Structure 1
Amino acid sequence: MIPPGGTIGIMGGGQLGRMLAIAAANLGYRTHIFAPGMSGPATEVAARWTQSAYDDAAAVAAFAAQVDVVTYEFENVDVASLPAHNCVFPPARALEVAQDRLTEKTFVEQLGGRPAPFRKVDSIEDLRAALGDLGSPAILKTRRFGYDGKGQERIEDPSRAASAWLSIGQKPCVLEGLVRFESEFSIILCRGMNGEIVRWDAVENRHRHGILDVSIAPASGLATDQAAEAGALAEHIADALDYVGVLACEFFATAEGPVFNEMAPRVHNSGHWTIEGAVTSQFENHIRAICGLPLGSTDLTGARVEMRNLLGSDVEQWPAILADRANHLHLYGKSGQRPDRKMGHVTKVFV
C-alpha cells in the first residue's frame, strides 16, 4: 500500500491525467506527469512534470525512480516505453492487448466473448477476400493507434476496397462486419490488487461524428437487460489480465445479446459522469486501486445521470451551462478549438 504523501507517476498529459491528478490530490497524493508536449491539462494541476519523448529510455527511468507507482492515461503509449518498474498499473499485458484490435478481438473470443465479425487484413488481396466473407457495408480499421473515429474507413461497396486501402495508409488492419444494434453501452469496472472488483451502472453512449457526445447512466432498453452478461465478460477480461485499475469495455446491445466492441485499459470518457454521479468516481477508484487502497462504492448519487462532451466551440456555451444550477461544468484548459477536440464536459444528476 502506498500511504498518502506518496507520488503517482502518470504517463500522458491530457484531460484524463488532469482528472486523475485531482483525484489523487484529494487522497493526499502528489502526481508527476511524463509527457512529450509543451504543456497540457494534466501538467497544470500536478506537482511535477517531466517533458520528454516516451521512447527516451533514460528520461523514463529517471521519472520512474522519482515515483511510487506508474499509471497511464491513454493506450497509445508504446509498451516498450513503459518504465522497468515493479509498480506499473494497469499491467503491460493489458496495454499490449488493447492497443492491437486483432489481438484484442482474438483475446476476447478466447474468453468466450462475442466481438463483431472480423478478418485480418494485411494487403488489398486480404481486404477483397474479407469483404467476400463479411459482405458490405463493413468498416476497415487500423490495428493500432485509432480512436474517436480516426483510423477507420467505411466501405459501402466492394468496388471501394482499393480507395479505402489507400486512404487508411495500407497499414495492418481488421475488417469488421456491421452489427445491427439498438444502442451502444459501456461497462466500467475497477479491480484492486487483491482481485476485488467494483462496477458502475452500465452506461448508454451516443456518438456524434464518431466521437462520444452523451453518456447516460443507467442505460435503458436492451442494454439494461444485457448489462449482467456484458459485465461478467468485462470481469473475466480483468481477471485474465490480472488487472489493476479502471477498465472500460464497450458493447453493442443487439437482438442476439451483447456484442463486444473494444476495451480501454484506463479511465474512460464514458465514465466522466461518475465524478458527481457516483459515490466514488472512476478517477478516485483508479487511484485507490493502483495505491493498494480499498475500493469505494459505485452507487449512483441520483436516479439518473447525463454527461455531455463539449467539443470545439461548444465550450463557448459555458455561461449558459452555468446558468442551470444543476449542471456541473468541467473545462480542461485547452487552447486551439477544433470541431472534434474535447474541451470539457458537463454533467447533470437527476434526483
Structure 2
Amino acid sequence: MPQSSDAPAAPAAEPEATAAAPRPRPPAVRATLVASAVALLLIVAIILGSRMLRNFDSALLPYAVATVFLAFGVTYRYTVWVSEPAARRLLRQGWRTLFSRENFRKAPTALPRMIATYLGFQKFLGARSTARWAAHQLLFWGCILAAVITFPLTWGWFTFTSATGPGPSYEMRIWGFKIIGFNSADVIGWALFHGLDLAAVLVIAGAGYFLWRRLRDRTATTGQRFGYDLVPLLALIVISVTGLLLTFSAVFLHGGGYEFLALLHMVSVVFTLIYLPFGKFFHIVQRPAAVGMQLFKYSARQDEKLFTCRRCGELVDTAPYVENLRGTMRDLRLDFDEWAEYCPRCKRVLRGSAYLTRVKRGFK
C-alpha cells in the first residue's frame, strides 16, 4: 500500500563511520618496545661477536646479563626523556644544525672541536673550579678506559691467546681476528694486562676527591642526597678497590682470598651497571645531546644573531636560542615565556620584586 504524502520520510542513511585515527603509544609503552629491541640486538651481537659463544667465558655471565639490562634501562629512560618537549626540541635543533650544509661550509671544524672540548675535556667545568675539572677528568677517562676494556671482554669479543715465540707471547684478537702480538714482559704487554688497574687508580683519585668534597664542602653538602650523590661515588670506589685487590692477591698472595674478592667485585659491578640508568650517572648518556645545542648556539653567533636583556641590555644568548627556549616554555604550557628575554641577574631581581610585592609586602 503506498505511503501517504504526509508520512515521515525515511531517515537518511548515516555516513559510514570513519576509521578512528590510531592513538600514539604512551611514552612508557614506546620506550619499552624500543628498549626491548636494543637489548635483543645486544644479545644477538654477543652471540655473533663471540663466534657463537665459543669465545664467551661463562664465568662472566653475570656481567653480560648486567650489560643487557644496562642497555635496556638506558634506552628506556633515554626514549622517555626525548619524548619530553624540552629534550625533543633540543635534539631536533641539534640534528638540524648538525646536518646543515651552510653551517658546515662556514665552520667545518666546529663539531670536532666541540666534541673534544665539551665532551672530552669538559672545559666548561674549568670555569667553576680547576680542582673539580681535574677530578672529573680523572673520573671520566678512568671510566672510559674501564668500559672499553671490560665490555668487549665480557661479551667475548676481545680475547687474549697464547702464541709461539720467545718469552711469554700472546695475541690480542677481536671477533677472532688477530690485532696485535706482544710479550707480556714489555711495556705494551704490561699496559694491556694492567689497563683495568690503571683505570682503577684514575677512578679512585677522581671519585675520592668528589667524595671528600661531598663530606666537607658546605655548598656541596647542602642539597645532596645519599642515594643520588654519594652512592655512585661509593660504588665506583668499591669497584676500583676490589679490582686492585684482585691483582694484589694474584701477584703477592698467590691467590689468597681471590674468590671472595672476585665475588665482591662482581656484585659491585653488577649493582652499578643496573643502577646507572636510574641514577646520577644517566647524565653521561644525556651529555652528547647537548653538543648539538652548543653547535646550534655557535652557528647563530657566527651570524651575529644575538639577543640582549630587555631590562639591562646585557647579552643573554643568541636570538635563535632564546626563541627556542620560549617555544619550549610554550610547549610546557608555562605562561611566563617572556622571562626567556631577561638575563639571569634580572630574572633574580624580578623574582625578588614580585615576592616583595605580592607575598611579603613591606618585608624588610
Q: TM-score, normalised by structure 1?
A: 0.25
Q: Which has the higher helix share?
A: 2
Higher-Rg member (1/2): 2
Q: Which has the higher contact order (CA 8 A, sep 6+)?
A: 2
| Higher percent of residues as strand | 1
